[in-house]
Every structure is written in structure tokens, then in C-alpha cells.
């Protein structure tokens, strides 16, 4: 895949980049390695000061960064602004809390003094996706850099300018040279990087094949990985729920980022008793969305990031229809304009035993299923290979407790939209990946948890 900025709203190639050659990659690895030897000895106060400065830059220049994201991958401008603000928040969160999260923890044993000490590992490789081009990187970088690690970023090939802008922000914030570098390289170079003795661990956010490939390369070298992969998150609405509120949130939950979010609600599992009402409300809300230029402040739904994603989504919708699904609205790419536009789409009546019912739809397509009771709702919610997040709506305490304990996912949100929050761990189970980002759990992923015993 070429490393280039191609505007998804017009199809126009705005800028192309030469990938780094082997000598350039080697020079960046050398620099990262040298940087780590000094950086590992910096204090939390020094790291925190630089990360706070990064937060300030993000806030001051958010309009520019938001525009860049929208130009490269098509998210609505207002969502891009919110993304930059969230990056500033995660920087401040770790700047303020990392020293506590990584302080020695005393443990009483037969030693005169025993404790746990957290120490940095070294160079961590981050392989990142285009869908949240700033957020995915900052939620890795903020804890990793506070822990004293150094980062190498291999960003998705369609967001090279975002990748370079992030490197520049971290440099301008005052982090020493080499502590965080962007590598403009294709995916084929990732296995070689994992084989380099100086790269100690890696994190990847993206598709299952990419995650499996990175984990295999890391496994050969006995190196740790964190994987944040796909999802086919359920959105369950039971009879006792506030159906109006559920339908409003369902729309945001599905349309977030033009439908291209790992934790977007993708399968709507609705109790038969309120299904007509929910379906009608959802249809009204989907058809009211404004599709168009993502830079326009009123746009709700912009283009998909690449022509391949558009094509894959179109194929999935056709398969869903061939499998017995009925399209209530949308269902075809918008052919009357350039760019990768796909309208808000609702598909009902796909038989639950069809393979397509378990797939991840990475775009603005909602699959709606009717269920007779909570048992069937939970069974259907769990009937996918994924386990990232789940949103469930009920006003019954017993139902709530069952949903919390029986849904197989890394997160369950009751009466709310699944979202990431710096204070809460984020990650999946099953084929959605392993390990956690954010919160205290996130910063503990890439450290040596050293046991110390002294007599």
C-alpha cells in the first residue's frame, strides 16, 4: 500500500511519501536505542512537564490537527476536534498520575523489606490504524513515555501527515530527540523490526490478520504484545429500557467516526415487545443524518476512509441481503459523487445462524435483530468471535446484573454508549485481542514488574 494522503471525500491524491529505506530505519533504531539509555533515567517530573506541554500544543493547535485528520481519513471535523481534545486529556491524565501508578509497592514477606518496582522496557513499537489517527497514538504514547520507554510509530499508510504531526508535537513538547519517532514504512517491514533485539515489545490496533501477524513475529522472539483488534459489539435494548434514549444513543453509537470504530455498536438486539418502536425511531434518526463534506461543521456522516473499505462494506451488505436480510434504508454506495460515500443503512431479519450475522461491519450499517427475552439476547450478543464492548439498556436491576456478568466482552456499559476513558481500562477478549490500554492497567503493560527481596 502506497504511503499517501488521499482525500476520501474527493479521491484526490494530496501528497505521497517515499517509504524509509533499510539504512534510514536502522539509523532511527540506533537513535531510539541511544535515547532510551538516557531517557530511562529522567524523573517523572521531567516527563510530566513534557507531556503537559504536548497537551498544551494539542489544545492550542487543535483546528489544524483536526483538519489534517479529516483530510486524510474523512472523519467529520467536529469529531476530529473532539479527538484532539481527548488526546490532550490523556496526556494530562498520565502526566498527573503516572508517578503514583508506578511507585514502588511494598509487600510483607519473610524479607526484611520486599517490594515491587516498575521499570521501563526500552523501545516499544506501536502499529496503529487510521480510524482515530491521533487518539490511538496518544493513548499508547502517553503512558509509554511516562513509564520511561521510547516509542517507534508505524502508522497506517493512509495517514502519514498525522503520523509526522504527532512526532513533531512530541518533539516540540520537549521530549529528548529519539524518544518518539515516526517510521514511514509499509506493513511488510514490521516483522523485521520485531526481530531486532533492541525492540522489546509491541502494541497493535487494527484488524485480526494484522494482529495475528505481529503476534506471530513477536512470539518467535519471545516478546510481549498488546492487541486491540476488531469487534462486533452488541447493543441490547430490553423491554424495561428507555427506548427513546436508547434509539438516540444507538444512532451515535453506530455512526461514530462514519461507522468505522472498533467499539461502535454493530448488532442491535432488541426485545420483541419494543422492537417496532425502536426500529421506527432508529429509521427516523438514520434518515435525518446529514451526509457530505466532512469539513463542513454540520456534517454528521462523511466518507469512508478508503475505496477498499467502501467496497468491502458494499460486499457485506449484498451478502447480508442474499442471506435473507432486508434493507430498511440505505444499502448501496452513493455513486453520484466522488469519494467513498456510503449512506446510513439498516438491515433487519438476517437469520442469526448466517455467518454474515457475526461479521464486523466497518461502516454506517446497523444490523437489527429481534429477540423474545433476555436469555436469547445474551446468547446472541455472545454469538460472535469478538468480545470488545457491549451496550445494554434496561431499568430492571436483575436484568442489569445478568447482563454485566454474562456478556463476554472487555467492557459492558449499561444505559450508555461504549466509549474509551483515560481512567478506565480498555481492551477486549476472544478475537478482539488481549492486554489493556488506558488507566493504571494500561501503563503496567510495558514495564518490567521487578520483584525486590532484601534481607
List the catalytic residues: 228, 262
Paired strand residues for 3? 17
3 state DSSP class of 335:
coil
Question: What sign does the CA torsion over 350, 354, 356, 359 have?
Answer: positive
Quick count: other Cβ atoms within 10 Å of Cβ 165?
A: 20
Q: Does 273 bind ligand NAP (CB under 6 A)?
A: no
Site string for ligand NAP, 1-20 (x = CB under 6 A): x-------------------
Residues whose CB is less than 8 angstroms from the CB of residue 185 and which lie 6 or more positions away in sequence, other chains included: 3, 19, 20, 25, 154
- Looking at 39-47, 93-101, 152-160, 317-325, which segment touches ligand NAP (CB under 6 A)? 152-160
Paired strand residues for 228? 205, 433
Question: Binding ligand NAP by CB under 6 A: which of 54, 127, 256, 371?
Answer: 127
Give the shortest CB-386-to-ligand NAP separation in angstroms.
9
Give the shortest CB-331-to-ligand NAP separation in angstroms.
22
Question: Binding ligand NAP by CB under 6 A: which of 186, 372, 385, 416?
Answer: 186
Q: Does 320 bind ligand NAP (CB under 6 A)?
A: no
Question: In terms of CB distance, is 242 or 314 closer to ligand NAP?
Answer: 314
Residues whose CB is less than 8 angstroms from the CB of residue 153 and which lie 6 or more positions away in sequence, other chains included: 126, 128, 137, 141, 163, 166, 167, 180, 181, 182, 183
Question: Binding ligand NAP by CB under 6 A: which of 8, 76, 129, 442?
Answer: 129
Give the shortest CB-302-to-ligand NAP separation in angstroms.
16
Instruction: Kindly state the cell numbers that stand for 382.
Output: 455472545
Residues between 344 and 403 that touch ligand NAP (CB under 6 A): 360, 362, 388
- Looking at 24-32, 49-57, 127-135, 364-372, which segment touches ligand NAP (CB under 6 A)? 127-135
- Looking at 96-104, 226-234, 315-323, 440-448, which segment touches ligand NAP (CB under 6 A)? 226-234
Give the shortest CB-374-to-ligand NAP separation in angstroms.
27
Q: 371-379: long-range contacts (C-beta < 8 A, 24 or more apart)?
A: 371/269, 371/270, 371/271, 371/272, 372/271, 372/272, 373/271, 374/238, 374/271, 374/399, 374/402, 374/403, 377/236, 377/238, 377/269, 377/271, 378/236, 378/402, 378/403, 378/406, 378/407
Contacts with ligand NAP by CB under 6 A lie at: 1, 127-131, 154-157, 186-187, 190, 204-207, 210, 213-214, 228-231, 262, 360, 362, 388, 428, 433
Amino acid at each position: 500500500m502506497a504511503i499517501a494522503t488521499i482525500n476520501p471525500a474527493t479521491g484526490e491524491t494530496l501528497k505521497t511519501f517515499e517509504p524509509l529505506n533499510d539504512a534510514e530505519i536502522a539509523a532511527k533504531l540506533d537513535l531510539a536505542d541511544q535515547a532510551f539509555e538516557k531517557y530511562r533515567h529522567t524523573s517523572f517530573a521531567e516527563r510530566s512537564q513534557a507531556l503537559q506541554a504536548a497537551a498544551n500544543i494539542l489544545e492550542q493547535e487543535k483546528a489544524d490537527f483536526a483538519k489534517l485528520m479529516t483530510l486524510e481519513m474523512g472523519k467529520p471535523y467536529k469529531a476530529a476536534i473532539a479527538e484532539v481534545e481527548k488526546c490532550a486529556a490523556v496526556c494530562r491524565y498520565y502526566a498527573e498520575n503516572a508517578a503514583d501508578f508506578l511507585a514502588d509497592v511494598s509487600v510483607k514477606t519473610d524479607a526484611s523489606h520486599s517490594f515491587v518496582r516498575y521499570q521501563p522496557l526500552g523501545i516499544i513499537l506501536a502499529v496503529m490504524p487510521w480510524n482515530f489517527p491521533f487518539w490511538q497514538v496518544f493513548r499508547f504514547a502517553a503512558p509509554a513515555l511516562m513509564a520511561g520507554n521510547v516509542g517507534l510509530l508505524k502508522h497506517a499508510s493512509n495517514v502519514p501527515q498525522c503520523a509526522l504531526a504527532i512526532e513533531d508535537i512530541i518533539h516540540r513538547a520537549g521530549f529528548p530527540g529519539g524518544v518518539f519517532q515516526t517510521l514511514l514504512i509499509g506493513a511488510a517491514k514490521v516483522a523485521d523490526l520485531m526481530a531486532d533485539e533492541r525492540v522489546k515489545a509491541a502494541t497493535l490496533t487494527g484488524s485480526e490478520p494484522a494482529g495475528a501477524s505481529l503476534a506471530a513475529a513477536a512470539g518467535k522472539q519471545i516478546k510481549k504484545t498488546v492487541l486491540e483488534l476488531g469487534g462486533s459489539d452488541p447493543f441490547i435494548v430490553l423491554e424495561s429500557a428507555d427506548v427513546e434514549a436508547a434509539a438516540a444513543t444507538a444512532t451515535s453509537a453506530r455512526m461514530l467516526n462514519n461507522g468505522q470504530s472498533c467499539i461502535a455498536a454493530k448488532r442491535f438486539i432488541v426485545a420483541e415487545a419494543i422492537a417496532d418502536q425502536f426500529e421506527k425511531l432508529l429509521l427516523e434518526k438514520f434518515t435525518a443524518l446529514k451526509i457530505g463534506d466532512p469539513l463542513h461543521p454540520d456534517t454528521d456522516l462523511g466518507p469512508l476512509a478508503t475505496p477498499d473499505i467502501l467496497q468491502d462494506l458494499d460486499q457485506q451488505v449484498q451478502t447480508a441481503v442474499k442471506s435473507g436480510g432486508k434493507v430498511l434504508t440505505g444499502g448501496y454506495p452513493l455513486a453520484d459523487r466522488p469519494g467513498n460515500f456510503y449512506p446510513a443503512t439498516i438491515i433487519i431479519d438476517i437469520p442469526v445462524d448466517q455467518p454474515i450475522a457475526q461479521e464486523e461491519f466497518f461502516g454506517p450499517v446497523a444490523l437489527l435483530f429481534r429477540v423474545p427475552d433476555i436469555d436469547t439476547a445474551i446468547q446472541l450478543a455472545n454469538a460472535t468471535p469478538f468480545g470488545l464492548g457491549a451496550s445494554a439498556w434496561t431499568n430492571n436491576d436483575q436484568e442489569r446484573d445478568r447482563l454485566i456478568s454474562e456478556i463476554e466482552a472487555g467492557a459492558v456499559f449499561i444505559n450508555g454508549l461504549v466509549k474509551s476513558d483515560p481512567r478506565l481500562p480498555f481492551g477486549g477478549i476472544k478475537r478482539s485481542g488481549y492486554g489493556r490500554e488506558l488507566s493504571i492497567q494500561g501503563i503496567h503493560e510495558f514495564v518490567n514488574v521487578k520483584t525486590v527481596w532484601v534481607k
